[in-house]
C-alpha cells in the first residue's frame, strides 16, 4: 500500500466515531478532491491550533481573549447557562432560542475517572456569579448519571445566591449528551425549563 495514504488513514482513525473503514473512505475522498481544496483543509487544521484560544470569561473557544458571545451587547446578561463543553454552546446556538450567556465547566464530575470539582471551572463560575450577579442560572447539562450528579452538586453550591436556579426540562433522552439532541427537542427543553426544588438539591 501507499505509505502516505496509510499514515493519513491512521491519523483519521484517531478521530472520534471514525473507524478504519470510515477513515479509508475519507482518505480516498481527499485523494480525489482538487489540490487547492485539500490545501485549504490542511491550512484550516493548522489554524485551529494557532488562532483559537479559550475565552477567559466563559471558557468557550474563541479567537479573542473574550469570545463574541460574552462581549456582545445584545445578549441577556441576566441569564447564565452552565454547560459541560464548548460543543454544547454550539448546540444551543444552533437551536436559536437562547439569548443569554454561557459558562463551560470543562466536563462533569466523575470521581471514578478522576474528575473532581477542582478540575472543573466551578471556582470561576462562583466568582463570575459574585461579580456579574445574574438573575437566573440554567444548569444545562445532559441527562447522564455523571451530569445528573454534577447538576445537583451545582444546585447545592448556588443555594446561597439570591437567584433563580433552573434546569432543562426532562424531555431529553436518558443518558444522551446535548450534542446528539435534535434542535427541536433541545429548544423545547430550554423553553420548558423548571426550577430545582430545594428538596432535590439536598437529597
Residue extents of the structural domains in the chain: 3-51, 71-201
- Reported as a single tens digit per residue, the pLDDT across 136-156 is 999 999 878 898 899 999 999
Is the separation of the CB atoms in 165 and 195 below 8 Å? Answer: yes
The CATH class given to the 71-201 domain equals alpha beta
Q: At what angle do helices 20-32 and 3-12 cross, to 10 degrees?
A: 120
Same fold, 3-51 and 71-201: no
Please report which confidence band the pLDDT of residue 23 belongs to, taking 50, 70 and 90 as the band edges: very high
Whether domain 3-51 has CATH 1.10.8.420: the reply is yes
Please state the pTM of the whole predicted model. 0.77
Going by the DSSP 8-state scheme, the letter that residue 138 receives in this structure is E
pLDDT tens sequence across 106-143:
999 998 999 999 999 999 999 999 999 999 999 999 87
Percent of the chain with pLDDT over 90: 72
Count of H-run helices and E-run strands, the chain = 9, 7
At residue 170, the pLDDT reads 60
pLDDT in tens, 37-93: 999 999 999 999 899 999 999 999 999 999 999 999 999 999 999 999 999 999 999
CA atoms within 13 A on the CB side of 93: 11
* Terminal CA-CA length for the chain: 60
Which helix (H) or strand (E) element contains residue 109?
none
Amino acid at each position: 500500500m501507499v505509505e502516505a495514504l496509510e499514515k493519513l488513514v491512521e491519523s483519521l482513525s484517531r478521530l472520534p466515531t471514525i473507524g478504519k473503514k470510515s477513515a479509508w473512505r475519507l482518505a480516498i475522498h481527499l485523494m480525489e478532491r482538487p489540490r487547492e481544496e485539500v490545501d485549504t483543509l490542511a491550512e484550516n487544521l493548522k489554524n485551529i491550533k494557532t488562532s483559537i484560544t479559550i475565552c477567559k470569561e466563559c471558557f468557550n473557544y474563541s479567537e479573542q481573549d473574550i469570545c463574541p458571545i460574552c462581549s456582545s451587547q445584545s445578549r441577556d446578561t441576566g441569564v447564565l447557562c452552565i454547560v459541560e463543553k464548548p460543543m454544547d454552546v454550539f448546540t444551543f446556538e444552533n437551536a436559536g432560542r437562547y439569548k443569554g450567556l454561557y459558562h463551560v465547566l470543562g466536563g462533569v464530575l466523575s470521581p471514578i475517572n478522576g474528575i473532581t470539582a477542582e478540575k472543573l471551572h466551578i471556582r470561576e463560575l462562583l466568582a463570575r456569579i459574585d461579580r456579574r450577579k445574574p438573575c437566573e442560572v440554567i444548569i444545562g447539562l445532559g441527562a447522564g448519571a455523571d451530569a445528573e450528579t454534577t447538576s445537583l452538586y451545582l444546585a447545592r453550591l448556588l443555594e446561597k445566591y439570591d437567584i433563580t436556579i433552573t434546569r432543562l426540562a426532562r424531555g431529553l433522552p436518558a443518558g444522551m449528551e446535548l450534542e446528539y439532541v435534535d434542535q427541536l427537542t433541545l429548544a423545547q427543553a430550554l423553553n420548558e425549563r423548571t426550577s430545582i426544588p430545594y428538596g432535590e438539591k439536598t437529597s
